[in-house]
Structure 1
Amino acid sequence: MTASNLKARMIVDKSFRISEIDERIYGSFIEHLGRAVYGGIYDPGHPTADEHGFRNDVKQLIRDLRVPIVRYPGGNFVSGYDWEDGVGPVEDRPKRLELAWRTLEPNYVGTNEFMRWAKDAGTDVMMAVNLGTRGIDAARNLVEYCNHPGGSRYSDLRKQHGFAEPHKIKMWCLGNEMDGPWQIGHKTAEEYGRLALETGKAMRLIDPSIELVSCGSSSTGMPTFPSWEAETLDHTYEVADFISLHQYYGNRDNDSANYLARGMDMDHFIHTVISTTDFIKAKKRSKKTMKLSFDEWNVWYHSNEADAKIDRNPWSVAPPQLEDVYNFEDALLVGSMLMTFLRRADRVKSACLAQLVNVIAPIMTEDGGRAWKQTIYYPYLHASVYGRGVSLKPVVDSPKYDAKDYTDVPYLDTAVVHNEEEDTLTIFALNRHLTEALDLTCDVRSFEGYAIEEHIVLENDDLKAVNTADSEKVAPHNKGASELKDGVVTGRLAKASWNVIRLRKRG
């Protein structure tokens, strides 16, 4: 197809509702890994550091993203973590050999410090418990420490540590990636299912209001996927509210057309997990529908070689691990992944971009120095800020292409959100074509009285362009070419571009 006839059509109607969007799909993740905590959010010597040592410049970038929830403290880290090491007077805390990433953990930041930081950053916390080296006792004691008002051993210990009011943590992960042989305390599906069930029961006895996430597969590539989901949920279905999904993508063979189709793989992953959970629902004759928590997702491959060198020199504090430098095409794929969540908003009710600062992250920092936005910051920002409300199901007619691993890939990748309270309609649109613009026609006649407010575009002639502290080569502009006439939006989506077309009701 040429530029003159590459066209896509959509119909968007306010009655074609998928679901109300749970804002927690715009969550993120901070693990005690690399410079995510030390040198990332926490840098006591930094010019912007607050009285507790947390960087205010980083906090502001996070507030701008409107991150609703942050998963903590891991990740692989949590499977060897003793939470008691991270509470009480900092000078009394032990330094531990951290086995997941083979570093030295000084425990300067622990549960209370992180909860204080999260409140100041305007976000809630999704707390993970250690089901690798520990189990029921440690988990129930942590819930008591965090959520019980007082008058008991661990709640009174929290008060002694200077936190009179409970943290009231709502969402809890029952371990992390327990299907993975790399995991400390790796378990079979039967072993994990039994332990997670009994741990969840004990945690709920202390605080019946909490929501629990049962571990799903670490990726679609696991040999036990999706039997792991079926076998573990056979135990945890009634105690858990969510099952987790994890997936990372890379463009190792430098095939950009194939890479930008990875959102289709993510959608298939979600579809398979939904099918599996619904089978267990039917098997148990349950009235509950399992929700999905896609609590690790991102692009991750750029830093693999550098990380291998660090692995050969272990036991340092906060080395620069997993510091992917993201390029423009990575931002396009991140946008596609976010739209996948929106189209599955009926079942995906939580998700965490992994991670938030320095470690495979949208925000990068220099120790003691500057902070800046990576390319992937922008689609994450746009989705989080403008993607709240009701997800609508558009009727799409788009030209398609075949890639190495995928067939019938639509050039137009899209998701639509109607915010009824603010009377706004947001069309997220990715043009996957690497060399040609895509002319879009969108019927929005059911949104009478609306007008185009802006058309944001993220584009760059160089798919490999990156942002650094010195140069922001990839940044959005609002000069997109679109108009609304007689209930129809027409616009041009530049080659390989991320677009946000925002409409608002007049008057």
Structure 2
Amino acid sequence: MTLKAKMTVDKEYKIGKIDDRIYGSFIEHLGRAVYEGIYEPDHPTADAQGFRQDVIELVKELKVPLVRYPGGNFLSGYNWEDGVGPVADRPRRLDLAWRTTETNQIGTNEFMDWAKKINAEVNMAVNLGTRGIDAARNLVEYCNHTSGSYWSDLRISHGYKDPHNIKTWCLGNEMDGPWQIGHKTATEYGRLAAETAKAMKWVDSSIELVACGSSNRHMPTFAEWEATVLDHTYDHVDYISLHTYYGNRDNDLGNYLAQSLDMDQFIYSVISTADYIKAKKRSKKTINLSFDEWNVWFHSNEADKKIEPWSIAPPQLEDIYTFEDALLVGSMLISMLKRADRVKIACLAQLVNVIAPIMTEKGGEAWKQSIFYPYMHASVFGRGEAIHAVVSSPKYDSKDFTDVPYLDTVVVHDEESEALTIFAVNRHQSESLLLECDFRSYEGYQVVEHIVLENADVKATNQVKRDNVVPHSNGTAKADQGALTAELSKLSWNVIRLAK
């Protein structure tokens, strides 16, 4: 018997405008993300500044609008002043977060140059682990003040006459985590973040600030942390952050593909907590969410235990992603789009080499991992307004989840280009799913393309010069007078594109 799923899409069922920054990413001074990732001056494709142009071209394919920098755990021991001025004068430092040596060849100005090359904004982070108000306000002055002050004139002396005008700033990183340099209680962090936020906005009132939420939903302090931090910072910040990573450690595929339900619950819980503080403060302001670390991360855990301490840019966190990982990444993107009314910023962690969609060989090629494709499809085709789809799908139970729908989906409508896109994952391991969709309120729309990412081997991976996991455009979606039918292959990521 063919499994069927039904959905109704109506232009009145709007979730909210999708902020382009939901397709952001992340570069940390960690492993080979910076050195041998984006920066390799001896590489055949390196430009005059030493940036790999083959990597730049792949990042441009992803249309990454925003990149978080410079960390991550690295941030909490970082002195930003080490990374500006003449490169020859920059100190080498021990990075206690990842037990490596940081050369500081790349710093704030170089990274801003790289971001311009990929057409992205920077989500700059300030160190609230070993440092605080003074270093943070000075960095804002250095980056954003025009001229006529010590730090802005120092930037000019470093060859950057025009300010960088960085809009989005993170107030530290994962300060709830005992692994963090300068780990703090919620009250300690909340007070410091509030005072730092005030000073930073006094330097530049146009910036937006992200307060640290919990490192993941399973932290013992989760929810209480968010409530306490927002109690202190509510009037001074614009976003609260969320971080989560998943992995198929038990090799239980049904349970693994249901992990995005945990992500859903995480998002709903943080929204609830933020709105509780809004009510408590009788505020008219709404705090939105920045999911500024999310991905699959577990493949490299054992290899990372063997890294030689204090080496320079060792291969750390280099997960090689499988086809099943790409399916979960697709569902994680769907989770965030389903709450695009509140999730305004998100950063896939990370972008190159370190738990990344793009991998590089030193002196060699750059290539696309399996997770590159759902991320690219969402970023390229998922701009516009998120539309709530009313879905009826068969379901299953797994070890940790009940009533998991086989069909995971969200719809995006771009009014400007008159494009309608359905993103859909079929979680069923052995059966295709016949999708029947009623979209009568979108008159005159026809299927342009049905992209499918599928593979008979759920453990299939891509390697340099060996692309085993790649999408095709041979999907079966058809539309006629407001009714769409499509066969969604077992275990598949689908992008159904419609236009007038």
Bin for the TM-score computed over the shorter chain: over 0.9
Amino acid at match of 1:48: T
Q: Which amino acid aligns with 2:16?
A: S
How far residue 352 of structure 1 moved from its aligned partner, in angstroms, is 0.2
Give 1:337-348 correspondences, 5 Å limit: 337-348=332-343
For 2:388, the equivalent position in structure 1 comes to: 393
Offset of residue 5 of structure 1:
2.7
Which residue of structure 2 lines up, in the alignment, with residue 96 of structure 1?
93
| Per-residue deviation, residues 119-158 of structure 1 (Å, max 9, x unmatched) | 0111000000000000000000000000000000000000
Question: Are positions 1:316 and 2:311 aligned together?
Answer: yes
Q: Deviations over 1:420-448 (max 9, x none)?
A: 00011000010000111000000011111
1: CA distance, partners of 2:366 / 2:19: 29
- 2:329 is aligned with 1:328: no
Q: Identity of counterpart residues, as a percentage? A: 70
Equivalent AA in structure 2 for residue 440 of structure 1: L
User: Do structure 1's residue 87 and structure 2's residue 120 form an aligned pair?
Assistant: no
- Work out whether 1:290 is the aligned partner of 2:310: no
1:230 corresponds to which of 227, 231, 234: 227
Q: State the AA in 2 paired with 1:18.
A: I
Match in the other structure for 1:410: 405
Alignment pair present for 1:107 and 2:140: no
Task: Tell me how far apart the structure 2 counterparts of residues 462 and 380 of structure 1 sit (CA, whole Å).
Answer: 20
- Match of 2:65? 68
Q: 1:221 offset after TM fit, Å?
A: 1.2
> The residue matched to 1:394 in structure 2 has which SS?
strand
Q: Find the partner of 2:454 among 442, 446, 459.
A: 459
The alpha-carbon deviation at position 470 of structure 1 amounts to 2.4
Q: How does 1:6-405 map to 2 (within 5 A)?
A: 6-310=3-307, 313-405=308-400
Q: Tell me if structure 1 keeps the 8 A contact 2:444–2:481.
A: no
Task: Name the aligned partner's letter for residue 64 of structure 1.
Answer: E
Matching residue's letter, 2:458: L
Give the Cα separation in 2 of the matches to 1:221 and 1:426: 33
Deviation at 1:368, TM superposition (A): 1.1
2:434 aligned with 1:439:
yes
CA distance in 1 between counterparts of 2:287 and 2:106 reads 34
Letter in 2 for 1:417: V
Which residue identity is paired with 2:186?
A
Q: Take 2:411 and 2:305, find their aligned partners in 1: how far apart are those partners?
A: 41
- Report the 3-state secondary structure (helix = DSSP H, G, I; strand = E; otherwise coil) of the residue aligned with 1:13: strand
Deviations 1:343-369 (A, max 9, x none): 000100000000000000000000111
- TM-score w.r.t. structure 1 length? 0.98
Distance (Å, rounded) in 2 between the aligned partners of 1:224 and 1:289: 23
> 1:181, CA displacement in angstroms?
0.2
CA-atom RMSD, angstroms?
0.5
Secondary structure of 2:305's partner?
helix
Distance between the aligned counterparts of 2:52 and 2:351, measured in 1? 14
Structure 1 gaps of 5+ residues are none
- Read off the aligned partner of 1:496 and give its amino acid letter: L
Shift of 1:282: 0.5
CA distance in 2, matches of 1:411, 1:27: 28
Deviating beyond 3 angstroms after TM superposition, the runs of 4 or more aligned structure 1 residues are none
C-alpha distance in 1, partners of 2:49/2:62? Answer: 22
**Shift of residue 234, structure 1, vs aligned partner:** 0.5
Instruction: Output the amino acid matched with 2:298.
Output: Y
Task: Letter of the 1:458 partner, please give it.
Answer: L
1:372-416 CA-to-partner distances (Å, cap 9, x unmatched) read 000000000000000000000011000000011000000000000
Shift of residue 85, structure 1, vs aligned partner: 0.2
Q: 2 CA distance for matches of 1:94 and 1:370?
A: 30
Aligned-partner SS, 1:426 = strand
Shift of 1:482: 1.3
Q: Does 1:474 align with 2:469?
A: yes
Any conservation in 1 of the 2:2–2:432 contact (CA below 8 Å)?
no
Q: CA–CA distance in 1 between the matches of 2:2 and 2:33?
A: 47
Q: Distance in 2 between matches of 1:372 and 1:197?
A: 42
1:496: which partner in 2?
A: 491
Q: Counterpart of 2:399 in structure 1: which amino acid? A: K
> Structure 1 counterpart of 2:380, which letter?
V
Q: AA paired with 2:357?
A: P
Which whole-Å CA distance do the structure 1 matches of 2:361 and 2:235 have between them? 45
Encode CA deviations 1:17-55: one digit per residue, 9 max, x unaligned: 000100100000000000000000000000000100000
**Aligned-partner SS, 2:277:** helix
Q: Which amino acid aligns with 2:81?
A: E
For 2:416, the equivalent position in structure 1 comes to 421
Report the AA paired with residue 358 of structure 1: N
Distance 1:38 1:367 in 2: 10
What is the CA–CA distance in structure 1 between the aligned matches of 2:62 and 2:420, rounded to whole Å? 19
- 2:380 is paired with a residue whose SS is helix
Counterpart AA for 1:367: K
What is the alpha-carbon distance in structure 1 between the residues aligned to residue 101 and residue 86 of structure 2? Answer: 19
What is the rounded CA distance, in whole Å, between the counterparts of 1:87 and 1:281 in structure 2? 40
- Measured in 2, the distance between the counterparts of 1:217 and 1:462 equals 35
